[in-house]
Structure 1
Amino acid sequence: MPRVWLEHIEEGLIAFLLAAMTVVTFAQVVARYVFNYSFVWALELTMYFFGALIFLGISYGVRVGAHIGVDAFVRILPARAAHKLAILSTLLCILYAAIVVYGAWIYVDKIHTIGIMAQDLPIPQWVPRVVLPLGYALLIWRLGEVLWNLLRGGHASLLGDEVADAMKLLGDDDSKGDAA
């Protein structure tokens, strides 16, 4: 049950960030070209929203299998070897994400300790940058789910399957044509 809540919060936050970026950018364009006025803080706020979107989107991409990669070598391996390689690659991804979480936490802590403020917004810099360790911590959670599934003998992939997606879409188009 907590997993469903996490997924809804994750999707809602990503949707909010995308919508907020669009609204702030649209308001800035209207203000600049219609009223000859500019919001000084709009670019910085949009940049923070975009950064948050990226760091939260990384884990979302793992959850829905949307990341791309080269898997030609893995596909020619026997199923057992490919499964072991998937476990190893997931463990390496978790290790990498853990290193980033650690480094990002040190970075955010130093910014907090020094007391650096945002350039155009009246907030401390550490507030928008805390998404760095949080986003990668969420990535570790998602990679842990993939690893758990692999260790139980299931099939999990860190990469999207473009061919399967295209065939599914082709099948959806064919079924629409048959109904007409």
Structure 2
Amino acid sequence: MISRLFGYFEEGVLNLLITLMTLLVFTEVVARFFFSTGFLWIQELTLTLCGWFVLFGMSYGVKVGAHIGVDAFVKTLPPKAKKITSLVTALICIAYCVLFLKGSWDYLSQMYQIGVPMEDIHFPQFFLKALDPDFAWETLKIDVDDGAVPIWLSQSILLIGFSMLTWRFVELFIAILRNQTTGLTFANEAKESMHLIDDSAQQTPETNKNDGEAK
């Protein structure tokens, strides 16, 4: 139940992020081509949202099997050897995530202590006026006089994304132990490409027939 609700939450956040990026890019294109102007904050915000989309979507990619991998050798192994290999693979992935979590924590801690702000993204004035200046700086590292969003806040997705990815690999490790799955699921680009070719081949005769009838 919790996993299902979390899955809905992931999909909702990813849909929201891609929608916001689309709207921001569309706004920037209209401003540049029709009004000969632009917004620096839109560019920085779009890049930030793109980073959030990628890092937030890593764990979802593990869930739905969207990542690319090479499993030709593993498929040839007997069931027991395949299970052991999958468990070792999951452990390596967990260790990889832990290393990135440690690095992300160190990086964000330094950004928080220094109070480095973003260049072009600022909080709205009504939000800044509602903050106590001492609390804003000592706790959130927000300078109410400048109003720029602190980097530690905008890049906190590093901790969020790798925490979620770690949880997915731990979940996968447990599932392999319980024989609920055989291992990581990868995207099969070759198979998807063949499906596209077959669909195209099936549509072509029908299209030609319709064109002939139209003539």
Offset, 1:156: 3.9
Q: Distance in 1 between matches of 2:191 and 2:171?
A: 22
**Which residue type is aligned with residue 150 of structure 1?**
I
- What residue number does 2:95 align with? 95
TM norm structure 1 = 0.88
Partner amino acid, structure 2, of 1:107: Y
CA distance in 2, matches of 1:97, 1:4: 23
The C-alpha deviation readout for 1:134-179, integer Å capped at 9, x for no partner, is 1000001111111111010222432325279649x68xx6xx99xx
Instruction: Give me the TM-score of the superposition, normalised by structure 2.
Output: 0.75
Q: State whether residues 82 and 182 of structure 2, in contact with CA within 8 Å, keep that contact through their aligned partners in structure 1.
A: no
Contact 1:101 1:133 in 2 (8 A): yes
Helix, strand or coil: the match of 2:40? coil
Q: How does 1:42-121 map to 2 (within 5 A)?
A: 42-121=42-121
Higher strand proportion = 2
Secondary structure at 1:69 match in 2: coil
Which residues of structure 2 form unaligned runs of 5+?
Answer: 123-148, 204-215
- CA offsets, 1:119-147, max 9 Å, x none? 11120111111000110000011111111
| Aligned positions of 1:12-51 closer than 5 A | 12-51=12-51
- When residues 162 and 50 of structure 1 are mapped into structure 2, their CA distance, relative to the original with a 3 A threshold, is same
Distance, in Å, in 1 between the alignment partners of 2:29 and 2:23 is 10
User: Structure 1 pair 51/114, CA: closer, same or farther in 2 (3 Å)?
Assistant: same
Q: Number of matched residues?
A: 174
Distance 1:40 1:163, change over 3 A: closer
Find the aligned partners of 1:113 and 1:10 in 2 and give their Cα distance: 30
Q: State, as a whole percentage, how many aligned pairs show the same letter.
A: 36
1:29 and 1:103 map into 2 onto residues whose CA distance is 36
Measured in 2, the distance between the counterparts of 1:161 and 1:92 equals 20
Q: Find the counterpart in structure 2 of residue 143 from structure 1.
A: 169
Is the contact between residue 63 and residue 142 of structure 1 (CA under 8 Å) also seen in structure 2? yes
> 1:163 & 1:44 partners in 2: Cα distance?
32
Offset of residue 85 of structure 1: 0.2
Distance in 2 separating the partners of 1:153 and 1:53? 32
The answer on whether the counterparts of 2:69 and 2:187 sit within 8 Å (CA) in structure 1 is: no
1:152 counterpart residue number: 178
Task: Report the more deviating stretch, 71-80 or 158-167.
Answer: 158-167
Letter in 2 for 1:60: Y
